[in-house]
């Protein structure tokens, strides 16, 4: 195993607030690592540390076996590129946006022209050179931002929630590009995400992060193959929630999972428990339907991603719920981001750890 980067006891503070605490993490060269955790867990800050945009309050970082110091940090920055969740593009053509980094490095124009052409083809934006970048769709703009990073051919590519709020087509293209770049160019990728479906399929390793700490590191099989307490604590696996259970007079159990969300189950348990609802057991509808199911929750679609024959949805009902439906169902219901919907599931579909 060859390490590209290694963090040892890295702590990052902003004033009196500690955002990262004693983070120790090894990043294997040529692999994809997903930082999986809820919003506010420290994922973006960790990416900025890995991009050498933030100097840790304490701890050590090695890159390609060399200790990162004030003397070599500028050189280290040339070996990593960070694509933020919110795309920041210049008010110029797609060509100028993508070519910017190479121009700053004083690469010959003939080389730049060829590299821009190849990189735009990679992100499926052939022929977009003369288009105004800021007039493109959100997904196309995100692909331009990715192309701008890819053209630099850095050792480390850092992606902050790369497919958040994108439609299935653009999300699928970005995921395909990440896989291709890693496989063919051997680029090491670290991506921050709270998308459980994505974390299952793209990375070689997953680091669970919560409250600025690395809770667990393993392969997707190791992480998702069991309902660990780390996953349950912050709901990193789809529809896994920790909460307080109480038994009702009817013999069912009500689990308070926070943010005003109560889930009724057929379990005979009380006290602190972790529960799980399979995304396939959750029904989604634009209108409230008559049903014998004990759980009917109203929310909005906050994320959509494509997964072969299925479409994966994230619905915010106070807590984030994952729902998996077929593509025909998705198109028949004409679902889109921010739609108000109802999710329905039976008490008997609620499992416990």
In a domain, 103, yes or no: yes
Crossing angle of helices 138-150/94-104, nearest 10°? 20
As a whole number of angstroms, the distance between CA 125 and CA 116 comes to: 10
Report CA dihedral (347, 348, 350, 353) to the nearest 10 degrees. 140
Percent of the chain with pLDDT over 90: 68
Q: List pLDDT tens digits, range 158-203.
A: 999 988 777 778 888 899 999 999 999 999 999 998 777 778 789 9
The string of DSSP letters for 270-306 reads: -EEEEEE--GGG-EEESS----S-SEEEEEEEEEEEE
Q: List pLDDT tens digits, range 286-340.
A: 998 788 888 999 999 999 987 666 888 999 999 999 998 888 899 999 999 999 9
Arithmetic mean of pLDDT over the chain: 90
Question: Both 183 and 316 in a single domain?
Answer: no
In a domain, 135, yes or no: yes
Q: Are 76 and 65 in contact (CB under 8 A)?
A: no
In a domain, 314, yes or no: yes
Question: Both 198 and 296 in a single domain?
Answer: no
| 87 or 9, greater pLDDT | 9
User: Global pTM?
Assistant: 0.72
Q: List pLDDT tens digits, range 220-248.
A: 888 876 656 666 665 556 788 889 999 99
Question: Both 179 and 264 in a single domain?
Answer: no
Question: Both 253 and 318 in a single domain?
Answer: yes
pLDDT at 12: 97
Q: Could you give the number of structural domains in the chain? A: 2
pLDDT at 133 over 70: yes
Among 105-119, 187-201, 207-221, the range of highest mean pLDDT: 105-119
pLDDT at 98 over 90: yes
Domain that holds residue 320: 238-352
Number of other CB atoms surrounding residue 220 within 10 Å? 17
Segment 99-115 mean pLDDT? 95
The string of DSSP letters for 135-146 reads: GS-HHHHHHHHH
Question: Both 213 and 242 in a single domain?
Answer: no
CATH number at residue 16: 3.40.50.300
Question: Both 86 and 197 in a single domain?
Answer: yes
pLDDT at 111 over 90: yes
Q: What is the DSSP letter of 170?
A: H
In a domain, 231, yes or no: no
Percent of the chain with pLDDT over 70: 95
CATH number at residue 263: 2.40.50.100
Taking CA atoms, 41 is separated from 37, 86, 215, 238, in Å, by: 6, 18, 11, 17
Q: What is the three-class DSSP state of 169?
A: helix
Show which of 224, 250, 285 is a domain's final residue. 224
């Amino acid at each position: 195993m060859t390490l590209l980067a290694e963090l040892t006891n890295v702590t990052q503070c902003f004033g009196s607030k500690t955002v990262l605490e004693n983070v120790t993490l090894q990043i294997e060269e040529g692999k994809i690592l997903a930082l999986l955790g809820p919003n506010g867990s420290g994922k973006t800050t960790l990416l900025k540390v890995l991009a050498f945009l933030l100097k840790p309050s304490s701890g050590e970082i090695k890159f390609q076996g060399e200790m990162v110091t004030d003397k070599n940090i500028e050189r280290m920055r040339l070996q990593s590129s960070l694509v933020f969740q919110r795309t920041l593009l210049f008010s110029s053509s797609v060509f100028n946006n993508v070519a910017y980094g190479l121009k700053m490095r004083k690469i010959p124009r003939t080389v730049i022209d060829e590299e821009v052409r190849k990189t735009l083809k990679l992100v499926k934006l052939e022929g977009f050179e003369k288009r105004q970048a800021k007039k493109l769709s959100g997904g196309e703009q995100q692909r331009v931002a990715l192309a701008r990073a890819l053209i630099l051919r850095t050792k480390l590519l850092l992606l902050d929630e790369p497919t958040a709020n994108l439609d299935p087509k653009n999300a699928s293209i970005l995921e395909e590009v990440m896989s291709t770049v890693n496989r063919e160019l051997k680029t090491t990728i670290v991506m921050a995400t709270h998308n459980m479906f994505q974390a299952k399929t793209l990375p070689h390793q997953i680091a669970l992060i919560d409250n600025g700490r690395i809770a667990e590191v393993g392969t997707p099989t190791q992480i998702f193959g069991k309902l660990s307490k780390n996953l349950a604590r912050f709901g990193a696996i789809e529809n896994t929630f920790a909460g307080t259970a109480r038994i009702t007079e009817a013999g069912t159990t009500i689990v308070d999972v926070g943010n005003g969300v109560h889930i009724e189950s057929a379990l005979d348990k009380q006290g602190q428990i972790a529960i799980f609802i399979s995304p396939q057991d959750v029904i989604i509808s634009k209108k409230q339907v008559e049903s014998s199911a004990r759980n009917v929750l109203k929310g909005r679609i906050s994320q959509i991603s494509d997964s072969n024959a299925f479409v994966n949805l994230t619905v915010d009902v106070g807590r984030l719920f994952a729902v998996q439906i077929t593509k025909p169902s998705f198109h028949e219901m004409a679902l889109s981001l921010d739609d108000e919907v109802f999710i329905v599931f039976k008490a008997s579909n609620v499992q416990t750890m």
